[in-house]
Amino acid sequence: MKRLLITGAAGGLGRGMRRRLADRAEILRLSDLANLGDAAPHEEIMPCDLGDAAAVHRLVEGCDAILHLGGISVEDRFAPILNANILGVYNLFEAARAHGRPRIIFASSNHTIGYYRQDQRLDVTMPLRPDGLYGLSKCFGEGMARLYHDKFGQETALVRIGSCFEAPRNHRMLSSWMSYDDFVSLIDCCLRAPLLGCPIIWGVSDNDSTWWDNSAAAYLGWRPKDNAERFRAELDRTQPRPAPDSAAALYQGGPFAADGIHT
């Protein structure tokens, strides 16, 4: 691959993927509004406001694949979510259509289904139940990807990321955690698949306790290897368990389900 674009490259997950995907393309094109530091010899730095259509077209031009991590990644007011996660996603897909339809790996979220209870097991056919404006914007992104696949043949992997960090940070993440290594292996599977289509993939490691059935994406050959269970004892030692009637213990989206609308 000549050029791989990573949006949101200054965020925590973006920084992790910047290091781990360095050898996946001759050039990594890195974009964010935050400071990305100096470019390595194999990197291009292109700051971009996703709400700026012309800038997004310049960003996507010449790219062979896109890892789209950019946008607002937490609950926020509607205005910034509208610009980055709704208008920005439209701009990204329009730019991809105009520039040869490079394959997209879209960072969706477990917050698209955050109001399901933790005692429910979900497959990808379950109706969306977003737990806030952020989750709702990711529902829009999934719908945009499906539209552009059906209408234009744009291939996109919709990865509903649970909690992608170096280690799970609380007890809820024992079910939702995906390791960086497992995310990289998923990206590799999505990039090399002869036919990707537009699958919904649960972005979760091989945890003992999980809520999601990934059998619909089995054709990709992804086999996550890490397991959050090895962190349980440390979490039990360092953190109190959430109250049984709290959102953190009841809902798959955790505290997001208890938040109000940010105004």
* pLDDT (tens digit per residue) in 65-109: 999 999 999 999 999 999 999 999 999 999 999 999 999 999 999
Average pLDDT over residues 230-245: 96
> Whose structure tokens read 């091989």?
206
- Joined together, the tokens standing for residue 25 give 């393309």
> Whose structure tokens read 């691959």?
1
Q: For residue range 20-58, what is the model confidence (pLDDT) as tens digits?
A: 999 999 999 999 999 999 999 999 999 999 999 999 999
**Residues near 128 by beta carbon (within 8 Å), at least 6 away in sequence:** 112, 113, 139, 142
CATH 3.40.50.720 matches 3-258: yes
- Give the pLDDT score at 79: 98
Q: Where are the domains of the chain?
A: 3-258
Instruction: Give catalytic residue positions.
Output: 134
> Whose structure tokens read 């992997």?
157
Give the side-chain half-sphere CA count within 13 A for 74: 6
Q: Tell me if 255 sits within 8 A of 111, measured CB to CB.
A: no
